[in-house]
């Protein structure tokens, strides 16, 4: 027979919980599972951050209500912070560790607004012909708009050098640093970024059979650097992938903990495993043809309906029209 528990009784249990050990931490650190006891009886407490209130009053007061704002870094129009929820005038909130990670884009562009706005999604297949005729020229235009300034600032040593974990210089050089989406402390949600120094490789599309040795070398060096910096990790606890379409057109590799929950950025239609890319390059075309590469295959991925790739290229193609790009 089920026992009926009054709400007012249940509410007294939480303050009585006595913590003994952490059982788990997941959802990129947003949920923890604690083991302890209440009145000497064993208990498990799951703590998960609630959704943000979305009414106008709360949103209007949100930024001014944050406390303990600490800058993690700034580069071009991008800045990253840790902060605590609750008023800065609240002494209790001021003593709490940060529970929010903030990313600021200032000044932002219309492209940023479209990217971060809620929108419908579409799956598209980009053939080698569509890539060459429409997508490649689109990439060229975006690179010429100066949107890679923050990347070049890092590569050329002007910003974020204190964040660089590992670096190799030269024509095949690359560097490793924390991704802006990581809080720099939760190992189970570790997210690092490998940036190449060479500028002729814009995306996975530019990888060819002749690059296999370089990509393999970079993969091993990235893994070596990650486990050296974080000795609690082993190489088989990390996965490497690239995005297509990427956020910006300068080749980079994501290195994440295998326990990091796979959201949309690791989903089919966005992420391509680096080992799978290497394998595909190895099996493409004739063994002696070093120029064959990822530009010669079809890639299927998802796009937001507000993205320029959809509105300027794939939607017109779907409607039998000539794309703008």
Over residues 57-113, the pLDDT tens digits come to: 988 988 988 888 888 877 788 888 888 887 555 555 556 678 888 888 888 888 888
Query: Please, what are the domains in the chain?
Result: 7-48 (no CATH), 56-105 (no CATH), 119-318 (3.30.428.10)
Q: What percent of the chain has pLDDT over 90?
A: 51
Strand residues in the chain grouped as ranges (E): 18-26, 31-38, 41-48, 67-75, 78-84, 100-105, 121-126, 166-168, 174-178, 191-196, 238-243, 252-257, 271-273, 299-304
Report whether pLDDT(163) > 80. yes
Give the lowest-confidence range in 4-18, 168-182, 258-272, 310-324: 4-18
Q: Nearest Cα to 120, choosing from 311, 320, 323, 317?
A: 311
Q: What is the pLDDT of residues 175-190, one digit of tens each?
A: 999 987 787 888 988 9
Report whether pLDDT(2) > 50. no
Report whether pLDDT(265) > 80. no
Q: CA-based Rg of the chain, rounded to a whole angstrom?
A: 23
pLDDT of residue 87: 57
Q: Nearest Cα to 233, choosing from 218, 223, 220?
A: 223
Average pLDDT over residues 224-233: 94
Report whether pLDDT(215) > 90. yes
Longest dimension (CA), the chain: 75
Question: What's the burial of 297, exposed, middle or buried (CB within 10 Å: 0-12/13-18/19+)?
Answer: middle
Q: What is the pLDDT of residues 34-51, one digit of tens each?
A: 899 989 999 888 888 777
Report whether pLDDT(250) > 60. yes
Mean pLDDT of the chain: 88
ω before 107 within 30° of 0 (cis)?
yes
Q: Is 252 a catalytic residue?
A: yes
This prediction has a pTM of 0.81
Report whether pLDDT(5) > 70. no
pLDDT of residue 65: 87
Report whether pLDDT(1) > 50. no
pLDDT-derived band at 290, boundaries 50, 70, 90? very high
Q: H or E segment at 92?
A: helix 91-95
Q: What angle do CA 78, 84, 90 make, to 5 degrees?
A: 135
Q: Are 172 and 194 in contact, with CB atoms under 8 Å apart?
A: no
Q: Which of 252, 254, 257, 302 is catalytic?
A: 252
């Amino acid at each position: 027979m089920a026992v009926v528990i009054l709400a007012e009784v249940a509410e007294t249990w939480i303050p009585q919980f006595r913590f003994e050990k952490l059982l788990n931490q997941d959802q990129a650190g947003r949920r923890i599972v604690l083991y302890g006891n209440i009145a000497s009886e064993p208990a498990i407490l799951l703590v998960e951050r609630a959704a943000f209130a979305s009414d106008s009053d709360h949103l209007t007061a949100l930024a001014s209500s944050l406390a303990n704002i600490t800058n993690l870094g700034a580069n071009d129009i991008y800045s990253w912070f840790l902060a605590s929820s609750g008023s800065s005038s609240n002494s209790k909130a001021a003593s709490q560790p940060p529970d929010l990670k903030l990313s600021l884009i200032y000044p932002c562009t219309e492209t940023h607004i479209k990217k971060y706005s809620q929108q419908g999604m579409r799956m598209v297949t980009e053939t080698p012909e569509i890539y060459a005729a429409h997508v490649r020229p689109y990439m060229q235009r975006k690179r010429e708009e100066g949107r890679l300034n923050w990347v070049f600032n890092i590569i050329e040593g002007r910003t974020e050098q204190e964040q660089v974990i590992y670096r190799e210089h030269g024509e095949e050089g690359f560097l490793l640093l924390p991704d802006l989406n990581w809080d720099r402390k939760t190992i189970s949600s570790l997210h690092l970024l490998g940036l190449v120094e060479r500028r002729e490789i814009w995306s996975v599309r530019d990888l060819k059979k002749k690059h296999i040795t370089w990509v393999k070398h970079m993969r091993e060096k990235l893994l070596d650097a990650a486990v050296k910096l974080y000795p609690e990790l082993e190489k088989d606890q990390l996965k490497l992938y690239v995005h297509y379409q990427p956020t910006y057109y300068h080749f980079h590799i994501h290195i994440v903990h295998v326990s990091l929950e796979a959201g949309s950025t690791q989903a089919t239609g966005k992420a391509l495993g680096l080992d799978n890319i290497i394998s595909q390059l190895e099996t493409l075309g004739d063994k002696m043809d070093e120029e064959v590469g990822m530009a010669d295959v079809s890639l299927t991925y998802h796009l937001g309906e507000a993205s320029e790739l959809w509105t300027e290229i794939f939607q017109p193609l779907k409607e039998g029209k000539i794309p703008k790009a």
